[in-house]
Amino acid sequence: MSLLRRNFSPLRIYLPAPVDAADPACDVVLVQGFLTTPAALDPLRRRLEGHGLSCAVPPLGGLRGGYQTHRVARCAATLAEWLAARPAGLPPPWIVGHSMGGIIARHAIQHLALPAAGLITLGSPHRGTPSAWLGLLLGPLTRAPLDLIPWNRRIRRLNRLPWPEALPLLSISGGADLLCPPPFGRLPFDGPRVRARHLRRLGHTEMLGSDAVHAELLEALGI
């Protein structure tokens, strides 16, 4: 499989897709990456729902209502507001974020104290990523890449905040990831419940359908 296919396929994750109603009373919240639609998360959703877990992709707005194009802080606030509608008494959900989705989830947890059972990030640029410079070419369509430039102020501020000790955090990176090269996906902190897994030969979007990634997810979720 070519590097391009590993990092940008399938094409359908970039095509317009209907935004389904999302129920915050779910077991797992899936947060999509930059410029993709909720369809990108379908392989994860199918695998988790096949093991009896309910999943939802929160409606964070963006281009045409489905593309992830808003900036990190705005998406994090929308995520927190959406989860505030969760019925009282339910335990907090796990959150799985792909690419920028992992940074959005981190911002919601670290800045906004969003309740969560744990966080799993897939190919997330915890230190920013050089590919964000290319995203700036989109100009007036979105300013989200500004939040993903390496060592930008927002990333540095987020990385100075401590991670909650009691909260599990698993970061999964891919050795063939062109959009978030492994050095930029490295976590900025450690802790008793913080883990990192590096899977060789996996690309940025390829990891969404990877059996190895799914196995890591299920283990982290205790399935």
CA nearest neighbour of 78 among 104, 97, 41, 96: 104
C-alpha to C-alpha distance for 24 and 58, rounded to whole angstroms:
8
The two structure tokens encoding residue 158: 């987020």
The pLDDT value recorded for residue 65 is 66
Q: Residue 194, exposed/middle/buried by CB under 10 A (0-12, 13-18, 19+)?
A: middle
Q: What is the pLDDT along the chain (223 residues), one digit of tens a residue?
A: 688 899 988 888 877 766 667 899 999 999 999 999 999 999 999 999 999 999 999 999 888 768 899 999 999 999 999 999 999 999 999 999 999 999 999 999 999 999 999 999 999 999 999 999 999 998 888 999 999 999 899 999 999 999 999 999 999 999 999 999 999 999 999 999 999 999 998 999 999 999 999 999 999 999 8
Q: Tell me the CB-side half-sphere exposure of residue 203, using CA atoms within 13 A.
A: 13
Superfamily of domain 3-220, CATH level 4: Alpha/Beta hydrolase fold, catalytic domain (3.40.50.1820)
CA distances from 149 to 57, 127, 157 (A): 25, 8, 13
Q: Kind and range of the H or E element at 94?
A: strand 94-98
The pLDDT value recorded for residue 101 is 98
